[in-house]
Structure 1
């Protein structure tokens, strides 16, 4: 944890807990799921935690949200690869947003998450889980990821001014 986090552990735990709860609600109840596609806004609490507390806070929020959501409200079989991906999503946002939250940083973070983690890594996890061809699956998921880049960039560009006003950065 960062030094600021050590000074206020109760606040850090409360914020992570709130963001995890919001991630579970948005991911499990307010998003669209199919076996190879997920559309929703569950990335927002992960991004908020990453902005507020850095890579570890973002990563923990993503991983705990995935794990708790999968255990309490399963959509399919639990697979730990997706929990790793969820951790990496939050860690990427937290790492990139340490340098600021301008358009360049938002675009960089979204590109890494959407292309590196969602398109490449999560597609690999799906091939392992469902024994399907990576080549055929990546073409299907390419549309989701490119659409996700545009939507996430736009949403984060609109949300960050609100976050900056109401959520003091800790990391």
Structure 2
């Protein structure tokens, strides 16, 4: 992993702050297990600009700080792992790569299925004891809708945001 300079650390700090604001302040909770949020914007931007590991760490930090500042239930490290893994997946697909529609779709499908649907369902099952099957089935429509929203938003703005952020580091 390449050394992070002061500018990139400051950039990550701003992305962490934006994730917390987008999730905890501007997010809309739908029950105890679903949330509408645009926190994926700073996550994917950080992933594309600084890479999978630094953005994963920043997302994990945002998850912990967000919980400390505005808890919405018990703390569970599985969700922090999901934050890290989701950002790392985006970083794998976006960092130093051309941001094509195909790449955006693939990254979002992988992140949604692995992190949000599969692992997220496992964590909720472990926390609540609810049967896995119905939880899984209940997550699919919402995650399908969020998948489409993420793809459309990223296709419209991610390349421009990455180009602007890259200019800061030249």
Range of TM-score over shorter length = over 0.9
Q: 1:60 aligns with which of 46, 57, 65?
A: 57
Q: Distance in 1 between matches of 2:145 and 2:124?
A: 19
Pairing 1:79–2:76 present: yes
Per-residue CA shift, 1:44-69, capped at 9, x if unaligned? 11111101101012212211111100
Structure 1: segments with no counterpart, 5+ residues: none
Per-residue CA shift, 1:106-161, capped at 9, x if unaligned? 00110011111100000100000111001011111001111111110000001123
Pairing 1:13–2:22 present: no
Q: Which residue of 2 aligns with 1:35?
A: 32
- The runs of 4+ residues in structure 1 deviating greater than 2 Å are none
Q: Which residue of 2 aligns with 1:136?
A: 134
Q: Distance in 2 between matches of 1:43 and 1:36?
A: 17
Pairing 1:126–2:161 present: no
Q: Which residue of 2 aligns with 1:102?
A: 100
- Cα RMSD, aligned residues only: 1.4
Q: How many residues align?
A: 166
Structure 2: segments with no counterpart, 5+ residues: none
